[in-house]
Every structure is written in structure tokens, then in C-alpha cells.
Amino acid sequence: MNQKSLVKKFNKLNQKIMTKKFTQEEVSRIIEMAWEDRTPFDAILMQFGLKEQEVITLMRTEMKASSFKMWRARVQGRKTKHSKSRSETVDRFKCTRQGNINNNKISKR
């Protein structure tokens, strides 16, 4: 794909996300879920109706470029982010030892 078609695709996805009108708390929760290792993209799809590519676009628009690159490097190829690649013994979205993070305040500093 050339750069022009990538920009067009990005703009189309961005428009689709912006029409869903998420509150700041919902955007914060989506970002939090995307950062969690054990939360698959399917969980985000079930709760917020965003597909994996839409989550990527949302992360790109809401995060600093360096943070987005770090997140993408972390998520790519990670089996736990894709339900079909996960072990069948894992049936939860959240680690049992994980505490609550409210409104994603840590990542907004």
C-alpha cells in the first residue's frame, strides 16, 4: 500500500470511531484494556463495539507517538490479545492478581 491509501484508510477508520461518541471514561477504559496483556481484543469488541483495527486507530489518536509505538511492539504477536490464539484453559479477561486502575490516570501524566 502506498502512503496515500494508508492515510485514506486511517481517516475512514478515525471517522467511524468518532461517530460512536465515547465518553472520556470509556476512552480511558478502552486504553486500559488495550494495555492489559490478558485482555483480548474480543473483550473490547464485546464491551465497546470496536474491532482490533479500530482500537489501534483509537490508540494512535489518543496516545503520544512514542507510547503508541511501545504499545504496538508489545501487542504484536502476543497470543493473549487474540482469543483464537489463547490456551483453552484461559477463560477470563482479567488477571486474578490485578488491581483496579481508575480512569487511567497513570498513563495521562
pLDDT tens digits, one per residue of 27-50? 999 999 999 888 888 888 888 889
With a threshold of 0.85, does the pTM exceed it? Answer: no
Task: For residue 23, give Cα distances in angstroms to 27, 29, 59, 75, 91.
Answer: 6, 10, 15, 25, 28
Q: Quick check: 97 pLDDT over 60?
A: no
What is d(CA 67, CA 62) in angstroms, rounded to the nearest whole number?
A: 10
The SS3 assignment for 37 reads: coil
